[in-house]
C-alpha cells in the first residue's frame, strides 16, 4: 500500500519546509526551520537555516554599504559576506568591484579639480582604468573635466602678459582708422 504522505498527505515537516522556502522566496530571510530535528530532516533543516542566514547577512551587508558609501560618503567601506566559497565569494568580489568602479571616476575628477584649484590648469582626468577605457557616463564626465575653457589652457601654457582690454583694443582701432582717413 502506498504511503499516503507522498501524494497528498505530506508530513508536517515537509509543510514546514515548504512554508519556509516560500517565505525565503519573497525575501523573508528571518525564517528558520526548527533546529531540533534529527536524521535527514534535521540535516535539511540545518542546511536551509545556513542558506537563509547567509542571505540575511548578504542583505544586511548590502544595506549597510549602501548607507555608508552611498549616503554617508565613506568610500573605503566594502561588503564582507563571510562566505568565501564558490559563488558567494564571487558575489562579494563583484559587489566590491562595482563599488570601486563606480567610485573611481569621482575620485579621479576630485583629484583633477583639486589640482586645478591649486593652479595646475593642465591637469586632466585619465580616460582609462586598469587598462580599460572609460565608457558611457564615466567617459562623458571625464571629457567635460578635460575640456577646460580655452583661455585657461592658453594662460597655463603661455604665461604671457594679459591680453589688452577691449577698451584699449577699440582705441587702437579708432586711431588706425582715423590715421587712414586723416581724422585730425
pLDDT tens per residue across span 6-27: 556 778 888 999 999 999 999 9
Note the pLDDT of residue 97.
93
Return d(Cα 132, Cα 86) in angstroms, integer: 26
Mean pLDDT calculated for residue range 96-116 = 88
Q: Chain-wide mean pLDDT for the chain?
A: 80
The Cα 53–Cα 37 span in angstroms is 18
184 or 59: which carries more pLDDT confidence? Answer: 59
Q: What is the domain partition of the chain in residue ranges?
A: 9-74, 83-156
Confidence of residue 176 (pLDDT cuts 50, 70, 90): very low
Among candidates 69, 67, 91, 68, which has minimal Cα distance to 80?
Answer: 91
33-61: average pLDDT: 93
| Residue partners of 57: CB distance under 8 A and separation at least 6 | 81, 82, 83
Q: Rounded distance, CA 108 to CA 147, Å?
A: 15
Residue range 61-85: mean pLDDT, rounded: 91
Q: What is the pLDDT of residue 179?
A: 46
CATH topology (fold) of 9-74: Helicase, Ruva Protein; domain 3 (1.10.8)
Amino acid at each position: 500500500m502506498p504511503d499516503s504522505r507522498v501524494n497528498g498527505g505530506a508530513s508536517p515537516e515537509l509543510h514546514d519546509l515548504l512554508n519556509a522556502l516560500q517565505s525565503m522566496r519573497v525575501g523573508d530571510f528571518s525564517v528558520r526551520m526548527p533546529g531540533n530535528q534529527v536524521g535527514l530532516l534535521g540535516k535539511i533543516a540545518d542546511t536551509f537555516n545556513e542558506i537563509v542566514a547567509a542571505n540575511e547577512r548578504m542583505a544586511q551587508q548590502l544595506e549597510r554599504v549602501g548607507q555608508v558609501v552611498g549616503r554617508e560618503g565613506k568610500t573605503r567601506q566594502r561588503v564582507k559576506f563571510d562566505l568565501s566559497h564558490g559563488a558567494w565569494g564571487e558575489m562579494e568580489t563583484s559587489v566590491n568591484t562595482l563599488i570601486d568602479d563606480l567610485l573611481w571616476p569621482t575620485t579621479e575628477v576630485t583629484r583633477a579639480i583639486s589640482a586645478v584649484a591649486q593652479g595646475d590648469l593642465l591637469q586632466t582626468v585619465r580616460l582609462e582604468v586598469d587598462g580599460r577605457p572609460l565608457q558611457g557616463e564615466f567617459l562623458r564626465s571625464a571629457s567635460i573635466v578635460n575640456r577646460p575653457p580655452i583661455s585657461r589652457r592658453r594662460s597655463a601654457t603661455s604665461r604671457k602678459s594679459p591680453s589688452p582690454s577691449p577698451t584699449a583694443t577699440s582705441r587702437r582701432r579708432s586711431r588706425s582708422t582715423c590715421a587712414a582717413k586723416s581724422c585730425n
